[in-house]
Amino acid sequence: MKKSIAITVAIAAALSSCASKPSEIEAAYVSPALYESLSCDRLREEATAVSARAIAASGAQQKKADNDAVAVGVGLVIFWPALFFAKGDGASAAEVARLKGEMKAIETASIKNNCGIRFEDPSAQPTKKKG
């Protein structure tokens, strides 16, 4: 009985410590005031740099989420000590949240300055062409 309780607690702990997918991470607040004084050209440069960093950070976070999912799957089915290899969110999740916040701030500054900069929503489903 004690062993099944311990296994249940370990499973619950492992499931709660799984890394989040990048699409599930909310943007951290970043003040648009940091970008409002920039010219449209400078905003475009910032948008390009932030976007590139966001892609890299999202890739790293997705890899963590995938590795945690594998560890939990193996732990639940084959070898429960593998549950301890699920690392959960960490600095990469915080980086994704911060970069998402920067992207929102840049878009807000772009709207205020009429620059027309928009970031594509990666979670949006592409529309199918009718043909």
List the domain boundaries for the chain.
2-112
With contact defined as beta carbons under 8 Å apart, do 93 and 86 qualify?
Answer: no
pTM of the model: 0.65
CA angle 69, 74, 77 (to 5 degrees): 120
Question: pLDDT of 33-60, one tens digit each?
Answer: 999 999 999 999 999 999 999 988 888 8
Of the candidates 18, 21, 8, 22, the residue with the CA atom closest to the CA atom of residue 100: 22
Structure tokens at 27: 């943007």
74-89 per-position pLDDT tens digit: 555 555 554 454 455 5
Residues 59, 71: Cα–Cα separation, whole Å: 18
- 120 or 69: which carries more pLDDT confidence? 120
Task: List Cβ neighbours of 32 (8 Å cut-off, separation of 6 or more).
Answer: 104, 105, 106, 108, 109, 112
Structure confidence at residue 69 as a pLDDT band (50, 70, 90):
low
Quickly tell me which residue has 């970031």 as its tokens: 119
Q: What length is written for the chain?
A: 131
Q: Residue 31's CB: how many other CB atoms inside 10 A?
A: 11
- Look-up of token digits 């799957």: 73
